């Protein structure tokens, strides 16, 4: 689909991104798919990228900036509003279905981690910001951060979604951690199926409905689990029960599992 805004030379969009960032990949795919030109700034590879990011007043990616204005692009609806693309909002899966998918994703991530040796789990992988053990921890941490937001309640911060992931060390039992979080998620849902998912939740990418936060929790963890599949296959291993199209249907995922740009 080509949008009118795509031919506006004054748009001057800059996209700040980093390899392995799921929302970054989805943002770039969305803009490219809609014929919207942008300057690509990889904050990890561009020596001045992080300084440019902080200069617009942000500290995490993806950021889409135009002049001195910017938007956190974790939400496609926020991105579309920022660049002026009209259209109906994307339909979301029901909360019950999103919770079901989270359980599928968590179980899959733990299956894939079991398949890798300690050497493989802790070896650097391509341009990833973390080895497979760290990516597995992040899958689980994304879901635990959601639980903290709804149980406390509190603001969802970027730091919450990353807590502990960078500190993962060889030999750490990420799978045991996953079992605990999976059980917590099941218990929370059993007690809160009737809660109001239209309530607004403060997040680091502006206020969002609880439904949107749950959806992001689901597809964000699913995308990193897709990356675990890529890691397995690169080691010549066949994923134990790969995620299927039905498992991922209806989630606003990037088209690709891995950003090779």
Domains and CATH numbers, the chain: 4-83 (3.40.30.10), 95-248 (1.20.120.450)
How far apart are alpha carbons 224 and 145 in whole angstroms? 15
pLDDT for the residue numbered 211? 97
pLDDT for the residue numbered 239? 98
151, with CB counted inside 10 A (0-12, 13-18, 19+), is exposed
* Residue 217 host element (H or E): helix 210-234
Predicted TM-score (pTM) above 0.75? yes
pLDDT for the residue numbered 261? 55
Nearest to 114 by CA among 183, 170, 174, 181: 174
pLDDT for the residue numbered 137? 98
Neighbouring-strand partners of residue 16: 41, 63
Nearest to 79 by CA among 18, 154, 156, 3: 3
> What is the tally of helices (H) and strands (E) in the chain?
10, 6
> What does the block give as tokens for 234?
């690169």
Q: Are 140 and 179 in contact (CB under 8 A)?
A: no
Nearest to 160 by CA among 174, 169, 147: 147
pLDDT for the residue numbered 52? 86
Nearest to 214 by CA among 231, 193, 234: 193
Q: Return per-residue pLDDT of the chain as tens, 261 residues.
A: 233 333 343 458 999 998 889 999 999 999 999 999 999 999 988 888 888 888 888 878 999 999 889 999 998 889 999 998 877 777 899 999 999 999 999 999 999 999 999 999 999 998 889 999 999 999 999 999 999 999 999 999 999 999 999 999 999 999 999 999 999 999 999 999 999 999 999 999 999 999 999 999 999 999 999 999 999 999 999 999 999 999 999 999 999 998 865
Crossing angle between the packed helical segments 174-192 and 95-115, to the nearest 10 degrees:
170
């Amino acid at each position: 689909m080509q949008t009118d805004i795509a031919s506006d030379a004054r748009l001057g969009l800059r996209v700040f991104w980093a390899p392995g960032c799921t929302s970054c990949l989805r943002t770039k795919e969305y803009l490219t798919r809609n014929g919207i030109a942008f300057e690509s700034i990889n904050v990890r590879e561009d020596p001045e990228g992080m300084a440019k990011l902080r200069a617009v007043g942000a500290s995490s990616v993806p950021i889409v900036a135009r002049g001195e204005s910017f938007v956190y692009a974790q939400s496609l609806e926020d991105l579309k509003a920022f660049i002026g693309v009209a259209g109906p909002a994307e339909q979301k899966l029901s909360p019950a279905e999103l919770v079901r998918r989270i359980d599928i994703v968590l179980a899959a991530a733990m299956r894939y981690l079991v398949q890798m040796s300690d050497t493989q789990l802790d070896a650097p992988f391509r341009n990833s910001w973390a080895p497979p053990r760290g990516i597995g921890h992040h899958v689980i941490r994304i879901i635990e951060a959601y639980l903290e937001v709804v149980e406390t309640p509190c603001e969802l911060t970027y730091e919450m979604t990353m807590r502990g992931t960078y500190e993962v060390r060889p030999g750490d039992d990420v799978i045991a951690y996953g079992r605990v979080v999976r059980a917590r998620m099941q218990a929370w849902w059993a007690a809160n199926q009737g809660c109001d998912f239209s309530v607004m939740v403060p997040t680091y990418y502006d206020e969002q409905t609880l439904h949107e936060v749950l959806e992001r929790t689901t597809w964000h963890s699913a995308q990193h689990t897709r990356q675990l599949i890529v890691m397995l296959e690169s080691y010549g291993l066949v994923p134990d029960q790969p995620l299927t199209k039905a498992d991922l249907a209806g989630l606003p995922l990037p088209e690709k599992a891995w950003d090779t740009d």
